[in-house]
């Protein structure tokens, strides 16, 4: 009979590249992101997604969070299930749906593995393994960090220099010419 700690390492090893914290650090944190902070999420509340007249809402406990689209709501729901305080969201909205698919797949696979590895154990042990697994994933994601608060923008744009023989305004004039 394996201990809970051994089962956790077995689950992480079995998951391989689809381990949720690994996906977070390799798929999400490597691209341009912005941080999102959850404000006081209740413990053990299952996130629900609602389509309202105002758009898509993610409801966790009594808290409702307005989301710009369904993909963002699905993405945030994964981290709300974990109980994260802050996470990074891809700035490019076209990537959120693909990443949300991967995160949801990883979440469900992780829980299915935990259930299948503990089928012959007591309910208390199975619950403890699930809690430890979620705590481990949450700790690894928190250690990776939520990314920058505001996404980085490359400011390498260059202004064209005015053609010779044309007048230019003072702000674009060369300081050496005006002296």
Q: What is the pLDDT of residue 156?
A: 61
Domain residue spans of the chain: 17-154
What's the start-to-end Cα distance of the chain, in Å? 85
Strand stretches in 84-126, DSSP E: 86-90
The model's pTM is 0.78
pLDDT in tens, the chain (179 residues): 788 888 899 999 999 999 999 999 999 998 888 888 887 777 777 899 999 998 899 999 888 999 999 999 999 999 999 988 899 999 888 999 999 999 999 999 999 999 999 889 999 999 999 999 999 999 999 998 887 666 666 666 555 666 666 665 555 555 555 55
* DSSP calls for 25-37: IIIITTS-EEEEE
Q: Secondary structure of the chain: what % helix, strand, coil (to 5)?
A: 50, 15, 35
Q: What is the pLDDT of residue 99?
A: 94
């Amino acid at each position: 009979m394996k201990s809970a700690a051994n089962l956790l390492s077995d689950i992480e090893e079995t998951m391989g590249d689809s381990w949720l914290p690994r996906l977070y650090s390799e798929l999400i944190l490597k691209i341009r992101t912005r941080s999102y902070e959850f404000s006081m999420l209740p413990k053990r509340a299952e996130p629900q997604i609602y389509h309202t007249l105002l758009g898509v809402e993610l409801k966790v406990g009594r808290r409702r969070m307005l989301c710009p689209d369904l993909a963002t709501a699905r993405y945030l729901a994964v981290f709300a299930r974990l109980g994260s305080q802050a996470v990074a969201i891809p700035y490019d909205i076209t990537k959120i749906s693909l990443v949300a698919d991967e995160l949801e797949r990883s979440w469900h696979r992780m829980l299915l593995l935990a259930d299948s590895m503990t089928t012959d154990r007591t309910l208390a042990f199975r619950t403890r393994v699930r809690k430890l697994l979620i705590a481990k994933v949450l700790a690894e994601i928190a250690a990776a960090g939520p990314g920058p608060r505001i996404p980085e923008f490359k400011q390498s744009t260059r202004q064209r220099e005015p053609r010779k023989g044309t007048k230019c305004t003072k702000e674009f004039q060369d300081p050496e010419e005006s002296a």
